[in-house]
Amino acid sequence: WLHMFTTLWKVDFDSAAWITVSKAYQVEDLLKQIIRGFQKSDLKGELRVDIIDMEKRSLVEIIRDYLHGKSYVLVLDDVWGVDIWFKIRDAFPTNSTSRFIITSRIHEVALLANGNCIIELKPLEAHHSWELFCKEAFWKNENKMCPLELNNLAQRFVDKCNGLPLAL
């Protein structure tokens, strides 16, 4: 996803950032991550600032000023709580052409979006889970197959993951 994102955003947006949100985050650290994310897509060098010792208010101003009048996309990946949006939303101008993509395993977080914008992913079917596991776990094997002596253990592991690709 990340590779596709970094390639495609340039087609429709002036700027973009992909941020993986930790379960235990500090608002200031998250805002700094967002600035660093937008710095990576800042082709004109407009966002060259030292943010190490900045507090929330200054970080919010930097983001607002940079994004004002721009079209942008921000991905907040693996969000664990609804409070995060309410703590950072002031950083984003409302008069911009923008898109926010929020991924989460928590249904209440998905409800932050408009109802027709929620995409609920279903767990993988058992055979797809097994294929993904083998491809990732045995990537060095030429055939990407599980060795017979590990089959029972590997199958129990895959079963415990309940079809969740992140767990596999």
What are 18's two structure tokens?
């992909």
Task: Return the number of other C-beta atoms located less than 10 Å from residue 59's C-beta.
Answer: 22
Residues 66-75 pLDDT 10s:
999 888 999 9
Over residues 13-41, the mean pLDDT reads: 90
The Cα 29–Cα 9 span in angstroms is 24
pTM of the model: 0.75
User: Does position 2 have pLDDT exceeding 60, yes or no?
Assistant: no
Q: Which domains does the chain have, with CATH numbers?
A: 2-117 (3.40.50.300), 126-160 (no CATH)
pLDDT reported for residue 154? 94
Tell me the two tokens of residue 11.
């087609």
- Residues 6 or more apart whose CB falls under 8 angstroms from that of 54 comprise 28, 32, 62
Sequence-distant (≥ 6) Cβ neighbours of residue 70 within 8 angstroms? 13, 14, 15, 96, 97
Q: What pLDDT is recorded for position 21? A: 93
User: Is 5 a residue whose pLDDT tops 70?
Assistant: no
pLDDT category at 12 given cuts 50, 70, 90 is confident
